[in-house]
Structures are given as structure tokens and as C-alpha cells.
Amino acid sequence: MKLGPVCPRNFGGIMEPYSRLERARFAVLPVPYDSTVDWHGGQREGPKAIIDASQYLEFYDQDLDRETFRAGIHTLPDLQPAMASPARMVSRVERAVGWILDRGKVPVLLGGEHSITVGAVRALVGRYPDISVLQLDAHGDLRHSYLGTRYSNACTMRRLMELCPVVSAGVRSFSYEEHVFMKEKGLRCFRPDGIATADVLASLSAQVYITIDLDVLDPAIMAAVGSPEPGGLGWRETLELLKAVAGAREVVGFDLVELCPGQGPAACAFTAAKLAYKLMGYVEGKR
């Protein structure tokens, strides 16, 4: 149940004072961008769908025995796309996330396609020298370049590896190029049927940025993605992993990307909204 007769159009429909930037712990940044996708498009509609669905969240989290919204969740205006090139869009995201960090907030990005993660991590690495990235994803995203750009969503993890260590979980689809690259670099990827939480934690540094490509979830619960892959993670095991990471490490930001609302039922947008709210609760619980 909401706190007033009028529901603001922000994440959760949260009333003041809990939605004010100055008192918020979390700053939600919608990034409606999908210029490098090559199968199902529509990721640009993802942030709006997540925010609309979030109006129907219950604020009380039974698992945490807490109303997470009381930590403060501010929703920023949409970050408009830089259509000149994917590289410019990455830079625009970097500046926006830097602005959030300068104000002492935890950035929560709602995508949009996965390439936006590169800009977020660029902003973070200068402030957190011991940062690593936890990637939850169905795909490796390790191509050097794709369709003429090094900033395609298919290259996201390759670009991140140039910035800091990356730990991948849930990945179950690679190109041969990516397979060769992983063998050359000795990269370890935790498959959906072989995720050992203790090993994941041991691979992460003190500060962690979490990027969640929603296709990491099994299509049975997350059909609304651009490139669905069978054999994904379930809801409960995803939450257990995120809760363990947030409890053992300092999560300095996270994103949810690649929701394509037109590819699945409305339940998918609600699942994404609830996943974001649950992860905020885990992060706040650590503090």
C-alpha cells in the first residue's frame, strides 16, 4: 500500500520525503537506449516498463523484515540517448553516474541495452580502486567488436575487463571467438548449474558493481528479453546469490538491463522491478 492518494511516477511510486535526492541512499537512473542490439529490439522501453510496474510493489520485504524505501530512493529523469555513436553514449552514462557518485548516492541503472554498463563502471573505477564486476548474464559479451563498434552490447564484458576484474555467473552461450579468448585468458565462468556461492565470493574484490542482464533468468520467468536462452537461473537461486554477495562485499552500484517489454507478459517488468527493490534491500541491509 502506498503512502498517499496520489502515486508519483518514480520507482515504487514513493512519496516525499523518501523520494528526495538529498535524503536518498539510492539514485535510480533510467537509460532508454538500444542502438546496438541485433535481434529483438525494444530495450529502450525497458526503464519505463520497470518504473510503471514498480508502482505495484509492496514496500515491506518479508525476508528482510524491512521497508527498504525508507532508506530513500530517488528517481532521476531519463538519460537521453546520444545517437551519434555508441562510444558517445558510454561517455554520457559515465558523466551521469559520476554526478550520482559525487552526491554520495548508490547508482541503480535501469536499461536499456547492456552497453550502458561500461559507462557506469568507468565512473566507478576512479573512486573505488579495488572494484570488481559481477556479471549475471546468459551470454559472454566478450567479443572484441561487433557490427562495426567496440561498444556493442556484445562487447560489454570485454570492455569491462580492460577496466577491472570481472566475474561471470549464469552464462550459457558463447561464440567460438569468445571461447578461445576465455581459454587464452584463463577466465572462469560459473554456469547456471554450477554456481558455488563461496567460489563466487572468493573471486570478487572488496567493492563490487553488479550488472544483471535479465536474460540470465530462465525464459520461463523472464521471456521479455532480446536474446532469450533456455536453462537460466530461477528466482530463488538468483536472490540467494545476490543476498550473499551484498552481505559479504560492498556493493557500490548495480544495473538491470535488456528488458524488452514487448517480448513477454507484464509479469516480466514486475519481476525486474522486484529484483531491483530486493537488491536495494540487500545493499541497505549490509549498512
pLDDT tens digits, residue range 59-90? 999 999 999 999 999 999 999 988 889 999 99
- Specify if 6 maps to a domain: no
pTM (two decimals) = 0.95
CB of 227 closer than 8 Å to CB of 133: no
Angle at 240 between CA 239 and CA 242, to 5 degrees: 65
- Specify if 144 maps to a domain: yes
Is 1 a residue whose pLDDT tops 50? no
Q: How far is CA 175 from CA 26, 67, 181, in A?
A: 36, 43, 10
Question: Using one digit for the tens of pLDDT, what is the confidence trace for 19-65?
Answer: 999 999 999 999 999 887 777 778 999 999 999 999 999 999 999 99
- Specify if 20 maps to a domain: yes
- Specify if 87 maps to a domain: yes
Q: Which domain holds residue 37?
A: 16-286
- Specify if 90 maps to a domain: yes
CATH number at residue 175: 3.40.800.10
Q: How far is CA 241 from CA 26, 39, 244, 248, in A?
A: 21, 29, 5, 11
DSSP assignment, residue 11? Answer: G
DSSP assignment, residue 130? Answer: T
- Specify if 2 maps to a domain: no
Sheet with 189-190, side-by-side order of all strands: 73-75, 26-31, 106-111, 250-257, 207-213, 131-136, 166-169, 189-190
Q: Pull the grid cell for residue 249.
A: 562485499
Going by C-alpha positions, the residue among 228, 217, 192, 193 that lies closest to residue 271 is 217
- Specify if 1 maps to a domain: no
Is 5 a residue whose pLDDT tops 70? no
Beta bridge partners of 166: 133
Going by C-alpha positions, the residue among 87, 286, 120, 92 that lies closest to residue 209 is 120
Number of domains in the chain: 1
- Specify if 196 maps to a domain: yes
32-36, 120-124, 280-284, range with the lowest pLDDT: 32-36
